[in-house]
Amino acid sequence: MIKNVILDWSGTVVDDLRPVVQATNAVFHEFALPQITLEEFRAEFCLPMEPFYEKRMSAHTMEVINEAYLRHFVPFAEAVEPLPNSRGFLEFCQRTGRRLFVLSTISPAHFEHQAGKFGLGNFFEHAYTGIVDKRHKIGEILRDHRLAVHETLFAGDMVHDVATAHHAGVLAVALLSGFDDHAKLAAAIPDVIVRDLGDLQTLMETSEGAGCIRIDGLQVDAHVGVPDTEIAKPQRLLLDLKIVPLRAFSEMNDDVAETVDYFAVCEVVRSFVGAGKWRLIETLAADVRALILSRPHVSSARVKVRKFILPYTEQVSVEV
């Protein structure tokens, strides 16, 4: 089971590809060099970054280049945003007791600003930033925090991240959410390639033997609908629930206290839905999922709401 997660930052947790390219072009402009397209940047950029800059700015030291880059990045910094599924993944790791670390080349100042702005810093036990060559640091992280190799993964969006994981002997996870494309990452032979941290979460939930509890066709009486006439009186909905417990079935030792009380879940959900009002079943589904996630021993939940409103359809459903 994976108990320790080390993450790259740029292109893994936050989307900063375009701001980075814009800042890089600003540096090239300052030194009267040709601009680079997004496609060219993705094809040529690498970590460590010296070979990339040597090709275009061989007359300048990395100290000069870094100073210019950090200065030019400032006007583009506000365009950086968290990737869509990053917070959900961090919350999943937190709920399941996994230890989280950052290992990134990003400057410490940029990391502190972004992590603080997006409220993500507190998820991590320690952040190692400003690292030129991550291969030289990951072994120290494993030793200092006593992380077992077979219980640890390193996830990132660049070939260098895959190489770093291989160097340390941990699980190498390549993400398609950032700088390097599928062809480059596949050539580095990672253990896993996924679209983003959301897909990594799904993979971790389903591949580690946790199993799931399914509750199909849970009948609830809900005040839901857009017209006031529809929301005024309760109507029958059916809910399909898929719940992944924190512990694998094989680790529960046949102890009811270690699993999810599905009877209690049904009662709580039925009471919650019966007491509320919603315009959209989409919102109802999201609220029910949040309620289930707050229950003891729950790792993740999927909720499907089925509504019987249109006479010429069997049902209308949404799933979250």
CATH placement of domain 4-14+80-207: 3.40.50.1000
Interval 238-262: pLDDT, tens = 999 999 887 778 778 898 888 899 9
Read off the pTM: 0.68
pLDDT of residue 295: 87
**Coil, helix or strand at residue 194:** strand
**Coil, helix or strand at residue 237:** strand
Domain boundaries, the chain: 4-14+80-207, 17-79, 213-319
Q: Could you tell me the sign of the dihedral formed by the alpha carbons of 117, 320, 176, 93, in that order?
A: positive
If you ran DSSP here, which 8-state letter would residue 78 be given? G
- The helix-helix angle for 50-57 and 62-73 (nearest 10°) equals 100
Outline where the chain has alpha helix (H): 17-30, 38-44, 50-57, 62-73, 86-95, 108-118, 138-144, 159-168, 182-187, 197-207, 228-231, 262-275, 281-293
* Phi, psi of 8, deg, nearest 5: -65, 170
Mean pLDDT per block of 10 residues along the chain (320 residues) reads 95 97 97 96 96 94 96 96 97 95 97 97 97 97 97 97 97 95 90 91 73 93 91 94 82 86 96 96 94 83 93 93
Interval 77-93: pLDDT, tens = 999 999 999 999 999 99
Radius of gyration of the chain from its Cα atoms, rounded to whole angstroms: 24
Domain 213-319 indexed as CATH 3.30.1130.10: yes
Residue (of 125, 120, 88, 155) closest to 299 by Cα position: 88
